Structure 1
């Protein structure tokens, strides 16, 4: 381990010693050579400079690189079986890289002599972009690094807002075609990403810096070489490894929120290490704390219990601060070294990111069932991350090592006041809730080219996820009827409103895969055969402790008097050492769990071309999925899944014109339960006022997908398309309200059948057809209209026999206007988003489904490049309309206050945010 660390540091040091520029008179031309019809990289293609006969061969990814003196050049590109292409007018500037991607066409079998196709730099840039847009085998949408460079986006989540059909929730989670995040899959650098959330299947895309992204593609239909567990879309992010040129980039940003900044901010105690994303250990459960078995078996006497309680952190003080502006910092370093004269290259990219923010919500309303509460929330958040990518390209081979790490620290203080009709008491509830999350992913990959454009790729990946709640503390004071002494604490029993939760989750994921592709002749047409295998192993351990002090009796006057002490004294060591408290631990046997998951898969596929216009990508993926989740309750059976899934898919494309495609596709995919959804353990969510528990009987969802699409590319980076889609779900996994008891349980279950169908319209077009003066104005929008129904003979509470799917929005609207001026130095971007009302939790016994209301979101981004385009100022205004986020019962319930067609459960505003940042690239 130490040796590997030394080698990495040595490599980084050598690369960092290289000069920051190529030289005073030298520049570069680099790009990718690919097949016009399929987009496949052409390995070993020859690129010759006509002026000096200097040349280079493409590597295993079809990439080439040429170092040349500043000037204007003509390139000749050759590859066996393809027509040669000559591109003129390529301008090379000192200390800069000119990017030129080239597409080659098949040589005509009837041609008796060599044919050279002539093109210019501008023409070929447009041609290659057309080919990239059109040639994806599946129905997909994406965004390239060039587009990202021209945008003010700072993270992958912000970039994804520009991709057709994608919507971002909470500034980090992606929704595709209105389907909930559980039906989407995330991939980073070729392998699947784990969920960053402990209680849902979702990946937080805000952890990936935008300037380190090479491209993002969302596949909306399946192909055999993609993981089969999705229905909405597979989001593929590829980070950079070998940079075009050496660089150092620094970004600094400050943010203002209308709810929070420069206003009063309340918090529990704060340590210096909190600002760096790490608890200093003062909140952790002491290592010598009595075990669960000892406490519950009665082996801990009162004196020992008092000693144990006294070892817990006693600081329940509430501190008042003035909220400071949000801060963000990022430093990125790229180094590249050409080795020898054969085009070998060694490159590395490093990045460090830091963000600190504070969020206040002071008037969140809860008004349903027996509760009429007002919440004030104060969240302190720190995020730190790092990226270190290395790559070595030699001949037809390429080895990459990619590493990404991110850690988030979210510390929330909540104060709730209001009336509980079921108890007849007024309440003052306090919660101190810290959550620490981390993600590390390391990927080692090798790509090797062989004769005839064959390619072998192997990948080994390791991921680790942690989620820790070191000391969630909750306390409730109640004003009881006719109590002259005022508010007293509910500490005569340990329950959902009086406890301390210590929880640790740790998950490891190991992945290995091999893919092979080779050209074949099929019906006398050039085709490509691909095959691969994958094996993945996951293990997770979740260990909670639910404990706290309890007053032994409410009849002792001295003990009773303690219940009237203020929060900063009632759990102090002086109070605990008086001996009135007993130590209680109500952790249930079903709460902790361990899980092991094995996924083994293999696929084979053919990419067939039929004539000049037709293409069929088809094949079969087989996945063997084994899961065992063990709750430590001997009366609960283990959750077991042993699935063998055959997942065929076919994607047909017909080139109606050189600028238009017609697509038709079918695929079968699956959606599997997340581990937390299978655990019978119960977790009280004080924000939802409900217990959340899993169901160990959940089964995987089987999904049939049909898509049809017509797409037209009127110009470079422009598209107009219309799509239709249909999805059939067997055993769809949904959550419902189990509201038979006084406290609602949110549980997961399988519905018998669900169907979703819809249409999607997309437009991205410059307005130069209106006026030549609008050639730098681009309008883009996509609209999805979706209908979904759930039918289940076992559910007798479905209104009218059916309802929409949980999490499925009936419509999604994204729209934007992009204006560039002064040779792209000024960028103005306005974004609008609206997602239709969708079910958060399905109907229970007493109450109807809980819906999340629609809201209009308007963002504006301005960018100004300065200092010869090396510096840039960006001003982002997020959520300018600042509309309510609302959850409500949709049906008319006369006993509740009505809004948006139903009784409000929760309603709040997060405020409008303004962020000013400055970046400079050396």
Structure 2
């Protein structure tokens, strides 16, 4: 069956209206052979009117009609249609259930949904999973609402084999270049100058419809595929008028009303917007680097704000506010218009107080080198808005437009205090940082059906996105205390101001055509996606130019006061040559796939995709001294075959298998033939123009069983073989500087188990209880070979890969009182967070056991209360080297109360 979401919306809208009174026909369509419900099947009046509706995800329909006599057609793709003539409708609704017979020789288990079916419900997601051509796992807004998760990064870890490290998702133990993220089918750029993924915390849950992890490749997907693709689908318009207001208030045991580090910022910081007080002063030369010999050096030095030190304050409660409104309007001639508009604001304080140390190695023993205490305080602010609208011209043609805006800001202050073995002195270091990330995504989509029984379907989309990341005026300060004398240390990252901005504009489009060719269902298409990126950074150090060393012992604000700027201190440009670059990237692709059923219960989907990938980068800052600017220009053409097979063992069980040969490509800076400075990790990184794209063999096998529409059992396994995997290797034993190279090879092998079941199977008393669990066991190995330079291990697990990941959840629902209670458990196995070098062992992040609870209570027809608690075991995050702690902190227990008001 080939139908769009809009038709489902119209059916739901009509059904709701009918339920409130009136007359017409209602019933259910089922498969005469299996009894399975038939979804998205058209029921149309062929005489006496022109009304048209479709069955919903459970096979039910409601066709509102005024009293009269009608001829009605019931039809489904690959089923024998039924015309019922002379149906008489009086007051009220006439019940009419029909069981349609499959067309002789047709594959009766297959339902191909070309449009995006409304899969917010768990049953809808499982139905989509059952009918899909690829191995996939999903979580929808219905399941997300039962958890305390606040954004896509929190929610996706509930999916089998998915973990989150920092802001990035790891799929089947693979992250970075091996785990792609798409929004409505379009890949988005990262807001990290050196990163691979679009940060998931830019997508608050109030804007999400579904999160789907595609685990096997098909020709319609982008070719950069290894661990999988996380597909984010945004909310669509509701069937009837709906407004929703959510207000939440929360507290964290480590931050709320507790002392935390902060500093004096701008007047708009509460909105996550810099008011300009952190901007680069206008007096700074824009055509040349600033030097202490510059005639305006003193004036420019005084123009920088004189805020260097942190202060303490009490953390405030966390809060959020969101609002949404949507509706669908339909007309009798088949036209319809739907829309959804939503907005979100959230703010939270965070405290991370950690004990940390670094080591040197003596024989096989770790000897403490630097021991320190880290006090980190941050305020995180999120602003988001979404507008989604669609227009159905008639039952065969519809278009929709989406605009998404999201901004995320972290305003932080950090103080480190301890002993430095390198300096043989006590030290205290301060960093003040304001980091803002912004995303604007816009998309126009259309679906058009032609021919008898809509045999030909044309789908197209065009998109434009803007991504920005800004770090205005990051300040670093370092003091050493030797024999009780505390002095400012003039060194790299001390007395330094850092300003950076990244802008990435991407655009493109795609078109596909699905049509039958005899017994084969063909799908052909093409796409183009281009991205233009600009990164600029400038850094300035305040140098001691005076003669009185006592000045170095003053507090920072006094030391860099107007009286001392000039005679004792001057700012000088320390921008690196590679602090500025322009990058261009394009992917032109074409694909063809064919779906055929050589046996009654067997589906084969074979396809091929070809991508032409171009990457150009030019680097060189006009504010830096040194070597000439460098550039790189690479073009590759990659063919990618795929084969997926689905065998329906029974009406409720599938056996799936898949194979593909895909690619993983290096990023801009990884192929640049020069050294650059990683401003986030404070280390030098060397690019390698000789890097090759990695090629990956992917193989999957899965058995899945769907006892009911909301229950599932599955067992699956996967194997991946990497050719020329790109690895980050350590090239400096002193600073930990790194570079990139193609390793000899790598493998990943995994087992995935999942189950969801209602305990009503055991006893009717337990019917309100549902439980679910998933477990992933993953083994990976990368061989760096003899050219591994100073890395400690020639062979090790992939960085960030957990050997096991487990999720367990239990939900109690009492419909009569509107009560729902959910308990969730998540744990991951220890994983490498930092690769060891110069005989130092790898640093492992230890397992983290997380228990969360959500209680939802309906207070009235339009008011609901939701209470959540996270990390109830109060687990600590711990990083170790050979069983010795190197970094440990308490995330704390968080409790949130949320009120949701839906007057319509």
Partner of 1:7: none
User: Superposed, which structure 2 residues align to 1:448-527 within 5 Å?
Assistant: 448-451=448-451, 452-480=454-482, 482=483, 486-491=485-490, 493=491, 495-522=492-519, 527=520
Deviation of residue 363 (structure 1)?
3.1
Partner of 1:570: 559
Deviation of residue 623 (structure 1)?
0.7
RMSD of aligned Cα (Å): 3.7
Partner of 1:168: 164
User: Superposed, which structure 2 residues align to 1:278-317 within 5 Å?
Assistant: 278-291=273-286, 293-295=288-290, 301=293, 303-317=295-309
Task: Say if 2:533 is the partner of 1:537.
Answer: no
Identify which of 610, 614, 619 aligns with 1:622.
Answer: 610
Partner of 2:418: 418
Task: Say if 2:545 is the partner of 1:552.
Answer: yes
Task: Say if 2:404 is the partner of 1:391.
Answer: no
- Normalised by the length of structure 1, the TM-score is 0.84
User: Superposed, which structure 2 residues align to 1:67-466 within 5 Å?
Assistant: 68=64, 77-79=74-76, 81-84=78-81, 106-108=102-104, 131-148=127-144, 154-170=150-166, 173-291=168-286, 293-295=288-290, 301=293, 303-339=295-331, 341-369=332-360, 370-395=369-394, 396-451=396-451, 452-466=454-468
Higher mean C-alpha displacement, 753-762 vs 261-270: 261-270
Deviation of residue 275 (structure 1)?
1.0
Identify which of 753, 762, 766 aligns with 2:754.
Answer: 762
User: SS where residue 715 of structure 1 aligns?
Assistant: coil
Deviation of residue 614 (structure 1)?
0.3
CA 1:74–1:333: 2 relative to 1, 3 Å: farther
Partner of 1:8: none
Partner of 2:773: 781
Partner of 1:915: 896
Higher mean C-alpha displacement, 538-547 vs 835-844: 835-844
- Normalised by the length of structure 2, the TM-score is 0.86
Deviation of residue 167 (structure 1)?
2.6
Deviation of residue 739 (structure 1)?
3.5
Residue deviations 1:419-467 (CA, integer Å, cap 9, x gap): 1111111101010011011001000111111113311111110111111
CA 1:305–1:213: 2 relative to 1, 3 Å: same
CA 1:463–1:32: 2 relative to 1, 3 Å: farther
Task: Say if 2:601 is the partner of 1:606.
Answer: no
User: SS where residue 314 of structure 1 aligns?
Assistant: coil
2:733, 2:790 within 8 Å by CA — same for their partners in 1? no
Partner of 2:877: 885
Q: Distance in 2 between matches of 1:605 and 1:438?
A: 36
1:360, 1:377 within 8 Å by CA — same for their partners in 2? yes
Q: Distance in 2 between matches of 1:211 and 1:34?
A: 35
Q: Distance in 1 between matches of 2:495 and 2:307?
A: 16
User: SS where residue 129 of structure 2 aligns?
Assistant: helix
- Please, which runs of 5 or more residues in structure 2 have no aligned partner? 1-12, 85-95, 108-120, 361-368, 621-625
Higher mean C-alpha displacement, 528-537 vs 631-640: 631-640
Higher mean C-alpha displacement, 727-736 vs 146-155: 146-155
Deviation of residue 292 (structure 1)?
7.2
CA 1:110–1:866: 2 relative to 1, 3 Å: closer
1:691, 1:745 within 8 Å by CA — same for their partners in 2? yes
1:302, 1:583 within 8 Å by CA — same for their partners in 2? no
User: SS where residue 282 of structure 2 aligns?
Assistant: coil
Deviation of residue 245 (structure 1)?
0.9
Deviation of residue 740 (structure 1)?
2.3
CA 1:475–1:806: 2 relative to 1, 3 Å: same
Q: Distance in 2 between matches of 1:247 and 1:431?
A: 46
User: SS where residue 573 of structure 1 aligns?
Assistant: coil
1:842, 1:850 within 8 Å by CA — same for their partners in 2? yes
Residue deviations 1:247-297 (CA, integer Å, cap 9, x gap): 1100001111110001123311132311112100110102341247443xx
Residue deviations 1:140-169 (CA, integer Å, cap 9, x gap): 112345545666655333442433222334
1:740, 1:845 within 8 Å by CA — same for their partners in 2? yes
Deviation of residue 62 (structure 1)?
14
Deviation of residue 852 (structure 1)?
2.1
Partner of 1:671: 664
2:526, 2:590 within 8 Å by CA — same for their partners in 1? yes
2:349, 2:377 within 8 Å by CA — same for their partners in 1? yes
Q: Distance in 1 between matches of 2:597 and 2:846?
A: 47
Higher mean C-alpha displacement, 788-797 vs 231-240: 788-797
Q: Distance in 2 between matches of 1:243 and 1:34?
A: 26
CA 1:637–1:753: 2 relative to 1, 3 Å: farther
Q: Distance in 1 between matches of 2:97 and 2:419?
A: 66
Partner of 1:905: 886
User: SS where residue 225 of structure 1 aligns?
Assistant: coil
CA 1:110–1:197: 2 relative to 1, 3 Å: closer
Residue deviations 1:687-745 (CA, integer Å, cap 9, x gap): x664455544433221110011111112222111111111011222222333423x221
Q: Distance in 1 between matches of 2:665 and 2:98?
A: 41
User: SS where residue 503 of structure 1 aligns?
Assistant: strand
CA 1:390–1:378: 2 relative to 1, 3 Å: same
CA 1:63–1:661: 2 relative to 1, 3 Å: closer
Residue deviations 1:506-563 (CA, integer Å, cap 9, x gap): 11111111111112223xxxx311011111111111111111210025xx22xx1221
Task: Say if 2:840 is the partner of 1:847.
Answer: yes
Q: Distance in 1 between matches of 2:188 and 2:25?
A: 34
Deviation of residue 682 (structure 1)?
3.5
